[in-house]
Structure 1
């Protein structure tokens, strides 16, 4: 009987350790993905919009089940000029987005390469 209790305790420790390690990997992956999403969103905005001096991103981000990351922020230190977009890692592009800024003339009818 004592042997079974020890085996059960060891299995529980291994299971909880595995869950903890998985959470650490997921959080590290999320941070890496968020950094990449901010870089691509910055490239996208600076290439397609006029008079962008600075971009500030919020710290809250969400990774959707399709591995896209929801990113929010504002432009030029003005919290009224909001930005939002979804970075699609698979296609390495910004999918859906809203940017409270004026588009560059050459990018009005299309999205310019970024």
Structure 2
């Protein structure tokens, strides 16, 4: 993949993730307010806590994705972008166009998913 295009795709993904993080932060604030308001007995107090836990999990996932983008940018600098971090095999441009932070080939990612689950 053309490295300038890869940089553009990574930056676009970073901006998208930052917008999602801002939205998630707002949702967490709303859930915290709902949790405080639930003390009046009219609302199920567990529901805001559940939403806050979900918001936290989403926020963590978004931060992990931002970390993956930073690693991809480091691979661009190092000259290893577009190669699997596991095997060194080339990651197809089609995959990088869809996921510019991809670290594994599709087969390697599927194998890792099977091992982890």
TM-score, normalised via structure 1 length? 0.35
TM-score, normalised via structure 2 length? 0.34
Give the helix-richer structure, 1 or 2: 2
Give the strand-richer structure, 1 or 2: 1
